[in-house]
């Protein structure tokens, strides 16, 4: 309930307080593991309900399979809260303070593992519920903010049983984190570079319709508008152009004709991969930078591909039993090399993260060539009512961590301009057509997290573990 779109984070903290109480009272390690696992199962099954809606747009598979997929995924994801609960029970008992400290330590480790194992699924780390007050992420990252939420829940659990001293001690790190957030630097003035962020409101069931092909293109064109006076950076969503731009000069010229002489278009599209004989063998989910002369200035290829969305794992086996990708087509996408920065004439340096690449804390920026801002083209049109606002919240946390503005353009929303403090400056609401004309926010100097990445939450975890050990060894 604490995640978007509801945002009822006090309820989430109360629930975790209840989980901590269950772990503390568990009669055995097995019962502590079970408490964590069942908690995680409910947590993920409800929070990831948007995955089920993705199956509504692929008629090659039964739509009810979406809910089975959500439960099956949650059965696996619940292993990570179970592991954190088991570690807390084994190394934190019998006192509530060390148990909470170990639980927070283990939560950092298990959340990082969840984002890493088997290509990783980093969606909705606990710290995202505190995105509105999450500026501490500049120093300890999202996983560190998750640990702060655990400590707050431990303090609530202590209050619930009248342990006021324990509650006060657990609140000390939260107070310190609050003081640190007050040290956040002021944002520099916005740049004079202008953005035009387009949201055409093309739903997933319209995207691949032959009858609506030209209608969809017209939506993009009309919302882009024409402006000849001042340079604009025009931003279109993921896979906005259904043409192979690198191979189709006519398409490049047609779209570049929409631009003013100094405009640049950043748009999602496919890059085709052919073998030595010219046969099409694969594709890449790409972002193209196109100027007014029809030249492709840069191309970014998505690195962190979505299993079952952009490729079918174990295709020879799964295709036999009738499974297919959720996106129409039988050809798999190939991954790109990872975060890269590109110089865009007149607009500085841009880093690109396509769709759910933006959710991976510490993996969104080329640290050797820090960009001035990040562009996150996405297609959230098949993720129901809960997926888009959750995606936006995670993009906001990346902006806080890295001290960089992030621009999002999606077909159906939520498109947004996010400043380096994680504040949404402008947005087009979900399922509305529209465009944002706004100045590009300026970046902050590199944050501590931008310099050291996820080393910082692990150092925070070591500090919490050391305090837990000290408390356990201290005579009552």
Q: Which residues contact 237 (CB under 8 A, 6 or more apart)?
A: 198, 199, 200, 267, 268, 377, 378, 379, 409, 410, 411, 415
Residue 333's DSSP bridge partners are: 283
205-213's contacts with Cβ under 8 Å and 24+ in sequence apart are: 205/57, 207/239, 207/379, 207/381, 207/411, 208/328, 213/242
277 tagged catalytic: no
From 166, 238, 357, 401, active-site residue:
238
- d(CA 362, CA 372) in angstroms, rounded, equals 16
302 tagged catalytic: yes
**Short-list 254, 283, 264, 236, CA closest to 346:** 264
Which CA distances in Å does 410 have to 197, 386, 422?
Answer: 9, 15, 18
User: What is the number of alpha carbons within 13 Å of residue 58 lying toward its C-beta?
Assistant: 24
**Which segments of 340-419 are extended strands (E)?**
341-344, 348-352, 373-377, 406-409, 415-418
- d(CA 335, CA 310) in angstroms, rounded, equals 10
238 tagged catalytic: yes
- d(CA 106, CA 464) in angstroms, rounded, equals 10
Q: How many helices (H) and strands (E) does the chain have?
A: 15, 12
From 24, 166, 207, 302, active-site residue:
302
- d(CA 472, CA 460) in angstroms, rounded, equals 18
Specify whether the CB–CB gap between 389 and 6 falls below 8 A: no
From 24, 355, 357, 401, active-site residue:
355
Phi-psi region of 118 (alpha: psi -120 to 50; beta: other; left: phi over 0): left
Specify whether the CB–CB gap between 180 and 136 falls below 8 A: yes
DSSP 8-state secondary structure symbol assigned to residue 126: G
List residues with catalytic annotation: 238, 302, 355
């Amino acid at each position: 309930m604490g995640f978007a779109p509801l945002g009822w984070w006090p309820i989430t903290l109360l629930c975790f307080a209840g989980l901590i109480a269950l772990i503390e009272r568990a009669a055995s390690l097995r019962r502590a593991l079970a408490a964590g696992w069942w908690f995680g199962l409910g947590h993920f099954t409800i929070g990831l309900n948007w995955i089920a809606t993705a199956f509504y747009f692929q008629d090659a598979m039964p739509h009810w399979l979406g809910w089975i997929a959500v439960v099956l995924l949650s059965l696996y994801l619940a292993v990570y809260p179970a592991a954190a609960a088991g570690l807390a029970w084994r190394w934190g008992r019998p006192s509530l303070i060390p148990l909470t400290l170990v639980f927070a330590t283990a939560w950092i480790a298990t959340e990082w593992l969840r984002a890493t194992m088997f290509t990783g699924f980093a969606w909705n780390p606990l710290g995202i519920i505190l995105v509105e007050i999450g500026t501490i992420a500049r120093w300890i990252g999202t996983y560190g903010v998750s640990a702060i939420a655990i400590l707050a829940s431990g303090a609530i659990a202590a209050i619930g049983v009248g342990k006021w001293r324990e509650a006060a001690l657990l609140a000390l790190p939260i107070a310190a984190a609050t003081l640190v957030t007050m040290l956040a630097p002021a944002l520099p003035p916005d740049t004079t570079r202008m953005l035009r962020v387009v949201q055409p409101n093309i739903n997933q069931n319209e995207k691949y319709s032959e009858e609506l092909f030209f209608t969809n293109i017209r939506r993009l064109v009309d919302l882009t508008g024409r402006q000849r006076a001042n340079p604009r950076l025009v931003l279109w969503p993921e896979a906005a152009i259904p043409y192979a731009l690198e191979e189709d000069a006519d398409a490049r010229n047609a779209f570049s004709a929409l631009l003013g002489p100094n405009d640049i278009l950043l748009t999602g599209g496919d890059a085709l991969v052919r073998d030595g004989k010219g046969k099409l063998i694969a594709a890449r989910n790409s972002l193209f930078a196109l100027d007014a002369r029809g030249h492709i200035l840069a191309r970014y290829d998505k690195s962190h591909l979505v299993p079952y969305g952009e490729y079918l794992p174990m295709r020879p086996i799964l295709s036999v039993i009738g499974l297919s990708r959720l996106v129409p087509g039988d050809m798999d996408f190939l991954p790109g090399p990872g975060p890269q920065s590109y110089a865009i004439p007149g607009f500085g340096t841009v880093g690109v993260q396509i769709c759910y690449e933006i959710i991976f804390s510490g993996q969104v920026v080329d640290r050797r060539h820090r960009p001035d801002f990040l562009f996150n083209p996405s297609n959230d049109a098949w993720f129901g009512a809960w997926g888009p606002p959750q995606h936006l919240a995670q993009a906001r946390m990346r902006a806080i961590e890295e001290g960089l503005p992030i621009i999002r353009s999606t077909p159906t929303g939520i498109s947004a301009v996010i400043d380096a403090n994680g504040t949404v400056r402008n947005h087009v609401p979900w399922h509305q057509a529209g465009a944002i004309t706004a100045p590009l926010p300026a970046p902050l100097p590199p944050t501590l997290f931008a310099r050291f990445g996820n080393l910082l939450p692990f150092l925070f975890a070591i500090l919490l573990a050391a305090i837990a050990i000290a408390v356990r060894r201290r005579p009552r």
